[in-house]
Amino acid sequence: MRLTRTLSVTAAATVLAASVVVGGASTAQAAATTYANCTAVHKVYSGGIAKKSVTKNRVTSKGKVSYRALQGTVKKDDALYSANKKLDADGDGIACEKS
């Protein structure tokens, strides 16, 4: 009886320790990658990086604003966009977009 109880406690402790390690690894989020320039972004995401809420590319030409469909592979990720916000020259929520 005593041997069974000791094995049960040991097994329970092992399962608990394993679940803490696995749980910690799955909930930890990696830091967003910061790219040096748009050439580096285009190697990974051909259409640039956008906020999740962006659905179209805002283009301003001669003072007139128009909207165009997103082109290429656009990664929609708020954290990734925030890390690379400096690459959004026109401030439309899409860094390194192709228009």
| pLDDT, tens only, 52-90 | 999 999 998 999 999 999 999 999 999 999 999 999 999
Domain count for the chain, please give it: 1
Backbone torsion region of residue 72, taken as left when φ is above 0, otherwise alpha when ψ lies between -120 and 50, otherwise beta:
left
Q: Residue 75: beta bridge partners?
A: 49
Write out the residue range of the structural domain in which residue 78 sits: 35-95
Select from 74, 70, 71 the least CA-distant residue to 84: 74
For residues 13-40, average pLDDT: 65
pLDDT of 21 over the 50 cut: no
> What's the confidence (pLDDT) of residue 93?
96
Residue 49 lies in a domain: yes
Degrees, nearest 5: CA angle 89-67-43? 50
* The amino acid at 89: A
> What's the confidence (pLDDT) of residue 71?
93
> What's the confidence (pLDDT) of residue 58?
92
Q: How far is the C-alpha of 52 from the C-alpha of 75, rounded, in Å?
A: 9
Average pLDDT across the chain, whole number: 81
Residue 78 lies in a domain: yes
Residue 1 lies in a domain: no
- The residue that leads in pLDDT, 49 or 98, is 49
Residue 71 lies in a domain: yes
Residue 12 lies in a domain: no
